[in-house]
A and B are shown apart, each in its own frame.
Chain A
């Protein structure tokens, strides 16, 4: 029965992953009006759906990068399997709850934080609570880029910088090239380029991120003894995950889209093209080289870079600073939630414990949803001027500034 809760929670995480990350691909296209907001999220959702189905490679070992609850071939550690795998299921459930809660909170604040960091953070916290510090794969074994440091922290530091440099160089050159061409002519052309490059980012996102949830669900199924093949993922898991991430993307995290598209930099179509191309290239090149990274960090770095690269562009460094602060605390914060959830579930014990954790999640999610209704941001006002409209539901006074 715990398994059902884990699967539902995992799909919930996948859903928040989708709407949290719509902005990565589509914020710039929406901001420059290359696409209508509704069209943009529809396109991105559809491409995420396609992308999720393309990811047939087995992502079963997804948790191995940060925690030691699986063997290297993907099967769960035997010690966690006594009693129908409930020890492992509780860790995974608590970790997922940590990831979702943090994703929703940052969404409420309009901050683009990394969904992968939220998931890893939650899992790390739940693992520390359940298995102790030694349960976490901090630094890998020295043969390749691995562990919390190698798979999470270093890429998080490097990837926004790389994406930013690429986008800045691209933007600067583009503006040099089109000197002397009428602006209306260039803007129209670049809008097409933007749509193309943003689509590529959406596709890559679906391929990368849906896989993580598929891996987690399959791990839970194996732990509960309902699935035995470590080389394949059940087809219904694949379909559910693809639908969840696509639905989330279509719903659109408008608060985050607004921050990325309007808050950080005032984006013109040439910058949008430069930013999305940089994101797409860096994401694809990194996964080719086995360099794990967060789409969010790359997209944010690119947008900042494109602001730096255009002479005279306005970059709101305060907004950028708040984002970086959110990145820094994403992992620990999600870890704390994950750990607390594990303790609650463990103290109550059994199915009742898991159920209580699940109910707490529903409660917190409902509360944050209600809070968001006070100052709704949706497809109608996503492009309003940043400075005229007080955005403060997004930023309670004094928080994080």
Chain B
């Protein structure tokens, strides 16, 4: 049954990483969209028909793009990871911020 043990050991790590990156980044993306809508105001937000929508809030636009930037950074890390692994390097998180190390 050693295989089952190894698999479960790996599984929870994958689940954790999946939740942070696979669910966390999309949620951040959603927050970005929400902020943009808040920033744009008007038709971007749900409001009663017949009246003008909520006023625009420039701060929302800023926060929105900030969220997108973080998401983009996450995606870029993903690509760097794929490329680095292909060339025999690995992405290391030992220093918290990612660094590329030789295998």
Is chain B found bound to chain A in the same assembly?
yes
Main SS at interface, chain A: helix
Contact with A along B56-87 (1 / 0, CB 8 A): 00000000000000010001001101110111
Taking residues whose C-beta sits less than 8 angstroms from the other chain, chain A's interface range is 35 or more
Q: Please, which residue of chain B has its CB at the minimum distance from the CB of A200?
A: B78
- Which of A18-26, A171-179, A322-330 forms contacts with chain B? A171-179
For residue A94, CB closer than 8 A to chain B, the reply is no
The answer to whether the Cβ of B23 comes within 8 Å of any Cβ in the partner chain is yes
Q: Could you tell me the distance between the alpha carbons of A277 and B74 in the complex, rounded to whole angstroms?
A: 11
Contact of B101 with A by CB under 8 A:
no
Q: Does A287 contact B21, Cβ atoms closer than 8 Å?
A: no
Q: Quick check: A162 and B14 within 8 Å, CB to CB?
A: yes
Shortest CB-to-CB span from A175 to chain B, Å, is: 8
Q: Which of A146, A173, A290 has the most CB of B within 10 A?
A: A173
- Nearest-neighbour CB distance to chain A for B93, whole angstroms, equals 10
B33 touches A185 (CB 8 A): yes
Q: With a CB–CB cut-off of 8 A, which chain B residues contact A190?
A: 29-30, 33
Which residues of chain B have C-beta atoms less than 8 A from A204's C-beta? 82
- Say yes or no for A150: interface residue by CB 8 A criterion: yes
Residues of A within 8 A of B71 (CB): 193
**If A56-B87, A154-B7, A288-B81 touch, does A186 touch B33 (CB 8 Å cutoff)?**
yes
B42 to chain A, nearest CB (A): 9
| B10 in complex: contacting residue of A185, A281, A289, CB < 8 Å | A289
Would you call B78 and A284 a contact (CB within 8 A)?
Answer: yes
Given the complex, which residues of B lie within 8 Å of A290, measured CB to CB? 10
Does A357 make an interface contact (CB < 8 A)? Answer: no
Given the interface pairs A170-B23, A178-B33, the reply to whether A282 lies near B6 with Cβ below 8 Å is: no
- Residue of B17, B30, B85 near A177 (CB, 8 A) is B30
A154 / chain B contacts, CB cutoff of 8 Å: 3-4, 7
- Sorted nearest first, the 4 A-B pairs with minimum C-beta distance are A281-B22, A170-B23, A54-B86, A285-B17
